[in-house]
Chains A and B, each alone.
Chain A
Amino acid sequence: MTLNRRLFLGTGAAAVTALSAPTVLADGHTKPRVIVVGGGAGGATAARYIAKDSKGAVDVTLIEPSRTYFTCFFSNLYLGGIKEIDDLGHNYGTLAAKYGINVVHDWAIGVDRGAKTVSLAGGASLPYDKLILSPGIDFVEGAVEGWSLASQNAMPHAYKGGSQTELLKAQIAAMPQGGTFAMVAPPNPFRCPPGPYERISMVAHSLKAMNPTAKIIVADPKPKFSKMALFQEGWADNYDGMIDWIGPDFGGGNVSVDPAAMTITIDGEVTKVDACNVIPAMKAGRIAELAGVTDGNWAPVNAADMSTKADADVYVLGDASQQGDMPKSGFSANSQAKVCANAVRGALTGSKVFPAKFSNTCWSLIDTNDGVKVGATYEATSEKIAKVDGFISSTGEADDVRKATYEESEGWYTGITADMFG
């Protein structure tokens, strides 16, 4: 790997290497090495900022199995027919070519924190000085009775961008007239708190056009959800009578599915469904657990720099981290990545480390040009990332405000993906 990387840097990214000629360190390697696992909103951003700001003084390796990364954020707009799947796909070419990041398309399958190495499915073992894990989510086995990853084709989760999203969209399109779409919503905490409800809105938007007598059932273990008043207002205004949200008071938390028979059982009542989106309870992406930095389902981190409580040289970003008040979102992961990148670069090169500031905004689309948002700013305390201030869209907003909010979300998508992928 090292030879390949040197060769690459020597040719493709001459400008980067020219800024700082390699110097041999006491322990034999030329430059401090950072490995980032996971090329999403947390990992790609962290890799890019460390590479960009260190100007070649830090070797950055990004490990990400996908050659084309499909964002989970905005995937609901694809389900709603508002975006194309290609709008959501991004690759790592710029991170490699412009920033000199060593992009490795492989799975990280183990971390030896004593030896400070990451092992890959392809057989390689890569050394690091600092390790940043941003693996997103995996699902808790047995969280929804009757469902396992083996049934994700019959009943997709579609909660990681890409093939699952395409599959769910195809299944919605194939529903018979007047058919039933069901969703099993996840318990807290989970990726993208408004995500399931934006998805319901977008599925309804899509069905309203092509299958207006279809029904939507949502089984939800939570009595309240993100932007609840905004979504419920929007559902009543735009999709009246189509959506049946079943909260825990009516047995929404007592659910099982049968993927072979395509049925869902809510509080003992069996319903035949034509498409079923099961979003199980979530946990940190597996590599965090394999690295031994999780406690329960998530990886506890220090708010100031996103280093794990378990190991000061291992950092966890985004959904996989247990950090305090921030929601698990792409925006949050991107925000945390920049704080982390500043701290990691400072630790490795002696550059100035500035105090942590975090922020998040989540936009959701209810119907065409009907966007809403919620957001907050956060600070690092000794215990956690703590909320400072926040806002949420109001019910009953004027159409032009909602349209502006939607247009802003499109601008944000362009902005954050440029911030991630260069």
Chain B
Amino acid sequence: MARLWFSTVVLGTSLVASAAFAEQTGDVEKGKKIFSKCKACHQVGKSAKDRVGPHLNGVFGRAAAAHDGFAYSKSMKRAGADGLIWTAETLDAYIENPRALVSKTRMSFKGLKKPQDRADLLAYLRDFSDNPSDVPEAEPTAKGTDHDLDPAILALQGDPEYGEYLSSECMTCHQVDGSGDGIPSITQWPIEDFVVAMHAYKQKLRPHPVMQMMAGRLNDEEIAALAAYFKDLE
């Protein structure tokens, strides 16, 4: 039953997703308040990191269980493999009753029964899906993009061998196996996101003092080297 249900929804949403958002009636401010119910397990925004649940930046448009580095339940992985894509419709169904959609999900949340609450919450979460999924950090930061990088910097090809040496400095705090606990995971990030984030620290757009200091003395090649190394670190 569930699989049948996915197939139709998935097919349908790819055509109507943008229209659905145009008609979105959720209230972002109210949604932010409702998100407090989710906060024990999920984070969203620039400071977001995976906790009990995965962070929810960029969740819209992503396949289920597709967020790298998070250990999803088998049930959620199966749903992703079966083609579940997170859209307004599928998320709406999920947060109404998680176990009804993904039977053995680890998300132990009884669900939001009121359609308006769900619309508000999704309107709030939707705001965090336009941005690149940021390398999270320990302090909350203002929302906004740090995407004003010279394309020449983004185009630099990093030397992974140099990156490996430089990375030893990162490994005093960040864990090589990609687990995040108080200090976020930095492995397997897309190169562009990694480079953008490091330059945002370097330019002190991102506020974390340790990261500002560490990034502050890395030159463009060194940042590219780190991005190249960490991207493929498993």
A residues in contact (CB < 8 Å) with B: 49, 53, 331, 334-335, 338, 342, 352, 354, 357, 359, 361, 373, 375-377, 379, 388-391, 400-401, 404-405, 407-412, 414-416, 418-419
Whether the pair A373, B210 counts as a contact (CB closer than 8 A) is yes
Option from A53, A342, A389, A414 in Cβ contact (under 8 Å) with B213: A389
Contact between B171 and A415, CB atoms less than 8 A apart: yes
A389 to B210, CA, bound (A): 11
Number of A-B contacts (CB under 8 A): 88
Q: Is the CB of A407 within 8 A of B169?
A: no
Interface positions of B from 156 to 173, Cβ below 8 Å from A: 161-162, 164-166, 168-169, 171-173
Which B residues contact A (CB, under 8 angstroms)?
138-140, 161-162, 164-166, 168-169, 171-177, 180-183, 209-210, 212-214, 216-217
User: In the docked arrangement, what's the CA distance between A407 and B184, Å?
Assistant: 11
Question: Which chain B residue has the least Cβ–Cβ distance from A422?
Answer: B176
CA distance A404 to B172 in the complex (A): 18
Besides the known contacts A338-B168, A415-B171, 5 further A-B residue pairs in the complex with CB atoms under 8 A apart: A338-B169, A389-B217, A411-B182, A412-B173, A418-B171
Given contacts A401-B139, A410-B182, contact A377 B214 (CB under 8 A): yes
- Kindly identify which residue among A53, A331, A373 contacts B172, using a CB–CB cutoff of 8 Å: A331
Interfacial chain B residues near A416, Cβ < 8 Å: 172-173
Residues in B whose Cβ lies below 8 Å from that of A418: 171, 175-177
B182's nearest neighbour on chain A, judged by CB, is: A411
Contact present for B172 and A334 (CB under 8 Å): yes
16 A-B contact pairs sorted by A residue (CB < 8 Å): A334-B172, A354-B165, A373-B210, A375-B209, A377-B213, A389-B216, A400-B140, A405-B138, A408-B138, A410-B181, A411-B138, A411-B181, A414-B181, A414-B182, A415-B174, A419-B176
Chain A CB within 10 A, most for which of B161, B165, B171, B177: B165
Contact of A411 among B168, B173, B212, B214 (CB under 8 A): B173
* Bound-complex Cα distance A13 to B210 (A): 38
- Those 9 A-B pairs whose CB atoms lie nearest each other, nearest first: A411-B182, A411-B183, A338-B168, A391-B209, A407-B182, A415-B173, A354-B165, A410-B182, A408-B138
